[in-house]
Amino acid sequence: MAPIMGFASGQGGFVAFTLADLKPTLVQHFATGGVTTMCFDDEAQSIVAVSSEGSVASFDSKTGKLQHQAKLETGAGQIACGVLHQVYVADPKHNVVHVLNHVTDRNDGDIPMLDGIGPMGLALDTRGRRLFVSCENRVIEIIDTDAGFIFTQLPGGEGRSQARFVWTPQGKGQWKAGAFIAQQDGTLIGVRMNAFINYTIGGDYKLPAGLAGIAYDSKTHHLFLSAESSGASSVIVDGY
């Protein structure tokens, strides 16, 4: 039986290790620096790592072996793995979302923002193929990734952000799905999916400033948010 793998990323690099003994099986240094973030491509069963300064690589999620690596223009925002071997990368500097292919090692196209300035947070619905982009200037852009255009805009918070897409976040029989966005000014937004082309603000809450990361527990239906204010770090647990 193949060992169960774990993965970690940091400044300009990537590590694969076995969970049983925490021994590294691969240490990959990228040709470019910058913070490296990861996402899981369920369709390809690959871990995709993107450095903010221009590297994209994919790794076999079962063995940890390097599959592809390329130098491509990326960005300092959040990433999200989609379908067709694509990874979306928010680039606030150029005000676009890059659509990068981690198998062909090419850029499949860039999606420019409409009224949003500084795209940072990304949440992807891989079934309906809708991408939620939270921008630094209180705008949320919703993109039809099949056509590559923005079809809905909603009000958001201000500053850097991270986002997550969740199916039935409150359990069976309530919200179909939702995108949750944590923004630096302390705004937590819940974008409710009423249908694949119909989205509304389902909740807008003010939490302590300095919100950063966001995660979701499907068993408890709780959101976990990291925050940093006045030099102190904290974790906020929020029921939804």
Rounded to an integer, the average pLDDT of 71-94 is 95
Pairwise CA distance, residues 31 & 14, whole Å: 12
Rounded to an integer, the average pLDDT of 46-50 is 94
The pLDDT assigned to 150 comes to 95
> 25: burial class by Cβ within 10 Å (0-12, 13-18, 19+)?
middle
Task: Give pLDDT tens digits for 138-189.
Answer: 999 999 999 889 999 999 999 999 999 999 888 777 889 999 999 999 999 9
Per-residue pLDDT for 201 more than 80?
yes
CA atoms within 13 A on the CB side of 123: 28
The pLDDT assigned to 56 comes to 94
**How many C-beta atoms lie closer than 10 Å to residue 216's C-beta?**
18
Per-residue pLDDT for 232 more than 80?
no
The pLDDT assigned to 230 comes to 60
Ordered by where they begin, the domains of the chain are 1-112 (2.130.10.10), 118-240 (2.130.10.10)
Per-residue pLDDT for 238 more than 70?
no
More confident residue, 159 or 208: 159
The pLDDT assigned to 33 comes to 82
Task: Give pLDDT tens digits for 6-47.
Answer: 888 888 888 889 988 989 888 888 888 888 999 999 999 999
The pLDDT assigned to 240 comes to 60
What is the model's pTM?
0.91
The pLDDT assigned to 5 comes to 84
| CA 60 to chain centroid | 19
Write the CA distances from 236 to 197, 218, 226, integer angstroms.
31, 16, 6
Per-residue pLDDT for 239 more than 80?
no
Pairwise CA distance, residues 236 & 52, whole Å: 27
